[in-house]
Structure 1
Amino acid sequence: MDFPVREATVAELQLAFKQNRLTSRQLVEFYLGEISRLNSVLRGVIEVNPDALHLADKADQERKAKAPRLLLGLHGIPILVKDNIATNNKMNTTAGSFALLGSIVPRNAFVVTKLI
């Protein structure tokens, strides 16, 4: 990867995608590495979406297909949300409570729909 992502803005990341200097997969791999490296000390991430790399590959494919509405905003950029925000995927929405572990939410929270 020839693009410094550590302190890049969303606009800079999107430009790097456009210039083929960065892929969503590379970005996700970078952040997964950072989580792996730092989380034992910071304990800020409870879980990572097991589909993260698949979703990154999908974003890269969509970008290559030049789907116009998908090339804006946060498309292809990984985000973290707290576990009290409902996400209708393979991740838990527990709000920090073991009692909610494994519960299934019917849909993404409104704020999540605005991010995707």
Structure 2
Amino acid sequence: MADPSATVCLRRNASSLLRKFRQILRNCARRKKKMNVNDLIDRAGKVAGSLGKLANAMHKHPARLSEWKSGKRKPDAAEVAYMAKIAGLPVLITVAMVEAELHPETAELWNTALGEIEARLVQSVAPVR
């Protein structure tokens, strides 16, 4: 039998993640756009203290961040995940949102993943009957 305190802890964590996920979606809807790489870089840079410090933490030259922001280059999913972690954002949700924006040809796949994540979170915080 599952430890009741562990179950409560898991529900609390899922509930917190679901709130963050829905807040991100509300913010995106309010701005009429999804999380994009520029928003992510700015947010992670702010948390890191500066874009230079973010680049240093990622072992990247600061010019690389500028290339990402300008669209000249695209960060890979691991780099997006790292910035999400630094920014304090849910990593998988942020990766899915940013990857959908960076790669329109696979956006449907990433949007499906977002829907599945939300469904699992809702399911995990639903009361047990």
Give TM class, smaller chain: under 0.3
Higher helix share: 2
TM-score, normalization by structure 1: 0.26
